[in-house]
Amino acid sequence: MSEEVEVGFRVHRAHKMMDWIENEVTEWAQGIVFEHYGVEEVTELSRDQIEEVASEADRLDEDYGDFISLGFFNVVRWWESENEDYVL
């Protein structure tokens, strides 16, 4: 029985890093949104407010890419799920 020898540099479990990044940026975005609107729960946001968040997420996505916008889109999706009302 032969062992397979790995050659070169290889990153294992990169999906774990992606999960961590998503959690961090979502927590960061949630804090910004909650502080800006003076709320403690996503359900306290109005549809108009969440539409503003979605609009800003679109702008961030265009200007900076998906790592920054991902957290704000997650806040919008969380609101949509809680309210069974869809903005995106």
**9-16 long-range CB contacts below 8 Å, 24 or more apart?**
none
Residue 13 confidence (pLDDT): 94
Angle of helix 14-37 versus helix 66-83 axis, rounded to 10: 70
Residue 53 confidence (pLDDT): 98
CA gap 23, 71 in Å, rounded: 8
Per-residue pLDDT in tens (0 to 9) along the chain, 88 residues: 556 666 899 999 999 999 999 999 999 999 999 999 999 999 999 999 999 999 999 999 999 999 899 999 999 999 999 999 999 8
Quick one: three-class SS letters along 16-75? HHHHHHHHHHHHHHHHHHHHHHCCCCHHHCCHHHHHHHHHHHHHHHHHHCHHHHHHHHHH
